[in-house]
Every structure is written in C-alpha cells, then in structure tokens.
C-alpha cells in the first residue's frame, strides 16, 4: 500500500542551526512533492513544490531536495529561528493530478 513517512518525534534544535526534516514514501510515483507548514489550530500553509525532474529547490532560508530513486525528500531550514517552530507536512500527488496525500508531519521546535 502507499505510505508517506515523516518522523513523528519532535525535532529540537538551537536557534541559528540548520533544521533537516525527512519525508520518505513507498509505492508512489509522484509527479511532484509539496511541503507545508502548520501552526497549532490553523490550516496548513503552502511552502514549496518540487517536481520529479528537479533535484533541489530553494526559497529564502528553505531548501528542498527530491530523490526519486531513494523515494525521499529532505526539507532544510537554514539559520533557524524560534518563529520557525511549527509542524511541517510533506504531501505527494497521485500522479493523475487529482489529489494530494499528506504525511503525518514532523514538529520542529527551535530554542532561543
């Protein structure tokens, strides 16, 4: 069956360090992968989309990699700040462009 795995344990890092979150998937051949940020009690907010033919994409302090051979995406936040503390979700399309399936998310805590 199709599965998207994100580390369910919270990631705790010190302000200024680089946070790296992992998204692994099985039994998917997605055309693209997306990352979202979710704050408690709020809806997810779109951050980045990376296509299957792209290895890396950057946006300000964010960087996403996408390895379709390893079936893995890495999400990096450089120079992390306490305001980056949130849950980060990865999502994959069903390759028919119909819908996204979300991972369970990883909670990031950045300590000052």
Q: And the tokens for 21?
A: 């979150």
Query: If binding is defined by CB under 8 A, does position 98 make contact with another protein?
Result: yes
Only segment of 17-25, 58-66, 68-76, 92-100 that touches another protein (CB under 8 A): 92-100
88: left (phi over 0), alpha (psi -120 to 50) or beta: beta
Q: Which of 17, 42, 59, 111 binds another protein (CB under 8 A)?
A: 42
Instruction: Kindly state the helix (H) or strand (E) to which residue 109 belongs, with its residue range.
Output: strand 106-111
Query: If binding is defined by CB under 8 A, does position 34 make contact with another protein?
Result: yes
By beta-carbon proximity to another protein, the closer residue of 37 and 63 is 37
Q: And the tokens for 102?
A: 């979300």
Phi/psi of residue 83, nearest 5 degrees: -70, -15
Residues near another protein (CB under 8 A) = 8, 34, 36, 41-46, 49, 89, 91, 97-105
């Amino acid at each position: 069956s199709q599965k998207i795995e994100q580390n369910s344990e919270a990631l705790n890092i010190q302000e200024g360090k680089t946070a790296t979150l992992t998204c692994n998937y099985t039994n998917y051949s997605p055309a693209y992968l997306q990352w979202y940020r979710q704050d408690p009690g709020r809806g997810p907010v779109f951050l980045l989309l990376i296509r299957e033919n792209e290895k890396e994409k950057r946006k300000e302090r964010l960087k996403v990699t996408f390895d379709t051979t390893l079936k893995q995406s890495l999400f990096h936040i450089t120079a992390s700040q306490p305001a980056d503390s949130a849950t980060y979700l990865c999502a994959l399309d069903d390759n028919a462009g119909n819908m996204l399936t979300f991972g369970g998310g990883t909670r990031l805590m950045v300590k000052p």
